[in-house]
Amino acid sequence: MATLTIAHDVAEIALDAPDRLNALAPDDIDELARAYADAEAAGVRALVLRGEGRAFCAGRDISAVDPADDDVIGYLGDRVQPLLERMSSFPAPTFAVAHGACLGVGLGLLIATDVVYVSERAKIGSPFANLGATLDSGGHALFTERLGAHRTLDLIYTGRLMSGAEAVSAGLFSQVLPDDEVLDRTRQAAARAAQGATQAFLASKRLVAQIRDDRLGLWASMADENRAQAALCDTADYREGFAAFQQKRTPQFTGRA
């Protein structure tokens, strides 16, 4: 269900079960985790995640789930959360294409991705009001941080879904794009990132994660920036970037440490 292709230092992972809106059963989570592991082993310098068909990912596949013996912790705690943590720490810039339904675990996949480009007609929110379940996969943290408590609970209580434009306007994701452009624009962004200074990008990725997770203040974050910049001085791309600037030419980055 997760198809991996690699070209020009960019990995592309496609969720490929359009008949069920790319909803994820336990085996699908394992397959997706393997795709990320394979992309990492290949040493790619950028990654794109997308969904085939009408939706990015409608969440967990509950078509055969019996609530009487549902192993929620086994699915969410033992499979989904480790996958999202792996995705978040992937050692290259990551991009996702959000179109159609982006719900539940599908929303979590977006949260764990560095940059998310959203189609105008995407549907984002908490659809669990009619299931007797609650928002999962990091949705509470994202919504409360970006929307505040009142708007978060309004979405949860009503089950209302935001459009792509509304989600981006609220600060949830990066850019909203026309439906027929979002995939190409995401691929273009990933291709540019794959030609960039990968180690510098990863330094920023770690700094942003630290601010988010540790709630660092300005001066503590600045001190971390200083140390990250000093470490980058020893990389080939740092030296190449300065040389290219001084020689008035386009830099040729390799991404190596």
Q: Give me the pLDDT at residue 129, please.
A: 87
- Do both 189 and 206 map to the same domain? no
Total domains in the chain come to: 2
Give the domain CATH number at 228.
1.10.12
Reduce the DSSP state of residue 77 to 3 states and report it: helix
Give the domain CATH number at 122.
3.90.226.10
H-helix segments, the chain: 26-41, 72, 81-88, 105-111, 139-147, 149-158, 164-169, 182-194, 198-214, 218-232, 236-246
- Do both 39 and 83 map to the same domain? yes
Is there a domain that residue 133 lies in? yes
The residue segments making up the domain with residue 104 are 2-194
Is there a domain that residue 178 lies in? yes
Q: Give me the pLDDT at residue 43, please.
A: 97
Is there a domain that residue 92 lies in? yes
pLDDT in tens, 143-155: 999 999 999 999 9
- Do both 89 and 9 map to the same domain? yes
Q: Give me the pLDDT at residue 204, please.
A: 97
pLDDT in tens, 170-205: 999 999 999 999 999 999 999 999 999 999 999 999
Is there a domain that residue 256 lies in? no
Is there a domain that residue 252 lies in? no
Model confidence at 255, in pLDDT bands (50, 70, 90)? Answer: very high
pLDDT in tens, 44-88: 999 999 999 999 999 999 998 888 889 999 999 999 999 999 999
Separation between Cα atoms, residue 205 and residue 181, nearest integer Å: 26
Q: Is the pLDDT of residue 257 over 80?
A: no
- Do both 130 and 227 map to the same domain? no
Q: Give me the pLDDT at residue 28, please.
A: 96
- Do both 170 and 239 map to the same domain? no
- Do both 203 and 179 map to the same domain? no
Q: Give me the pLDDT at residue 68, please.
A: 87
- Do both 135 and 214 map to the same domain? no
Sign of CA dihedral 180, 182, 185, 191: negative
Reduce the DSSP state of residue 160 to 3 states and report it: coil
Domain final residue, candidates 173, 194, 215: 194
- Do both 72 and 175 map to the same domain? yes
- Do both 116 and 30 map to the same domain? yes
Q: Give me the pLDDT at residue 219, please.
A: 95
Separation between Cα atoms, residue 104 and residue 125, nearest integer Å: 8
Q: Is the pLDDT of residue 208 over 80?
A: yes
Is there a domain that residue 251 lies in? no
Model confidence at 209, in pLDDT bands (50, 70, 90)? Answer: very high
pLDDT in tens, 27-42: 999 999 999 999 999 9
- Do both 208 and 138 map to the same domain? no
Q: Is the pLDDT of residue 131 over 90?
A: no
Is there a domain that residue 255 lies in? no
- Mean pLDDT across 80-101: 98
- Do both 89 and 17 map to the same domain? yes
- Mean pLDDT across 108-133: 94
Q: Is the pLDDT of residue 130 over 90?
A: no
Looking at the chain, the whole-number percentage of residues with pLDDT higher than 90 is 93
- Nearest C-alpha neighbor of 136 from the set 74, 200, 94, 77: 77
pTM of the model: 0.95
- Do both 135 and 242 map to the same domain? no
Is there a domain that residue 254 lies in? no
